[in-house]
Amino acid sequence: MVAAGKGRRSGLGINKVFFRFGSKLLIEQTLENICGCPEIRAVVVVLNQADLRRHASGLRKKFVKIRDIVTGGKERRDSVMNGLRSAEKFSPRGKVLIHDAARPFVNRRIVRDCLRKVGKGRGAVPGLAVTDTLKRVKNGLVQRTIDRAGLVEVQTPQAFILKDIMAAFRRYGDKPATDDCQVFESWGGKIAVIEGSVLNFKVTYPGDFELYKALVRYLWDK
């Protein structure tokens, strides 16, 4: 689980996954859902150095499935590789899910469906069909309308055979990538898309925290 960012776009001044609402940190909400999936046997958390010093001990005490907490790298791809190297130590031939800690409402159905689709040379990702009209914009003016047919907004967790995604990252090098599937695709891997969830959104901008808090309040009332 990747949580090594700075969260600059959130406007909080801290890593957004350590935003506290009520008695719980956002990352703890994510870990509750991840660790509650029986399909997941072990979790590796990737944190930046400062957050690792502050929070590693507390997270380990609360979530017994955490097998390791490692330091992230300069870029997201470096953080992911650090997490994969750790996972390789105790599950070298297993499947791996790479999840953004800032998606706190991941559910068991998504995890299960992703893992079922994974095979040799094939990964899986949750996705939602794009429903809004898309425009190409330049200098504040619409240039053209983009055909949305076949377009999917992908989420995490993104699932792979561990040795396959590690091989893909080693070959990919230092080129920029927007997600782990892009790295896998460049390696020649195929990606199956399973149905995602609108609740599996990524908490990124200030407005996202209002939605996060509303959903947490809803869970309290259930």
| 99 in a structural domain | yes
**pLDDT of the residue at 121:** 96
User: What's the CATH number where 176 sits?
Assistant: 3.90.550.10
pLDDT per residue as tens digits for the range 148-182: 999 999 999 999 999 999 999 999 999 989 899 99
Residues 6+ apart with CB under 8 A from 5: 15, 16, 17, 48, 72, 76, 102
- Per the domain annotation, does 127 fall within a domain? yes
Question: Scanning the structure block, which residue is given the tokens 């893992």?
Answer: 115
Q: Which of 189, 204, 112 is nearest to 157 (CA)?
A: 112
pLDDT at 132: 95
Is residue 12 assigned to a domain? Answer: yes
Give the chain's domain count.
1
Crossing angle of helices 162-172 and 76-90, in 10° steps, is 140
Q: CA–CA distance from 80 to each of 56, 143, 152 (Å)?
A: 18, 36, 23
Q: What percent of the chain lies above the pLDDT cut of 90? A: 88
50 assigned to some structural domain: yes
- Would 222 be classed as within a structural domain? no
Neighbours of 178 (CB within 10 A): 9
In a domain, 90, yes or no: yes
Task: Report the alpha-carbon angle 89-109-178, nearest 5.
Answer: 60
Q: Compute the 3-state secondary structure of the chain and give helix, strand, coil in percent, each to the nearest 5.
A: 40, 25, 35
| Nearest to 168, CA basis, from 99, 98, 117 | 98
Amino acid at 144: R
Q: Find all residues with CB under 8 Å of 100, minimum gap 6, and list them.
A: 1, 2, 3, 156, 202
| Closest by CA position to 186, among listed 201, 197, 173 | 173
Domain of residue 30, residue span: 2-217
Answer yes or no: is pLDDT of 11 > 70.
no
Would you say residue 199 lies in a domain? yes
98-157 pLDDT per residue, tens: 999 999 999 999 999 999 999 999 999 999 999 999 999 999 999 999 999 999 999 999
Work out the angle at residue 157's Cα, subtended by the Cα atoms of residues 101 and 126, and round it to the nearest 5 degrees: 130
Of the candidates 61, 70, 67, which has an alpha carbon nearest to the alpha carbon of residue 42?
Answer: 67
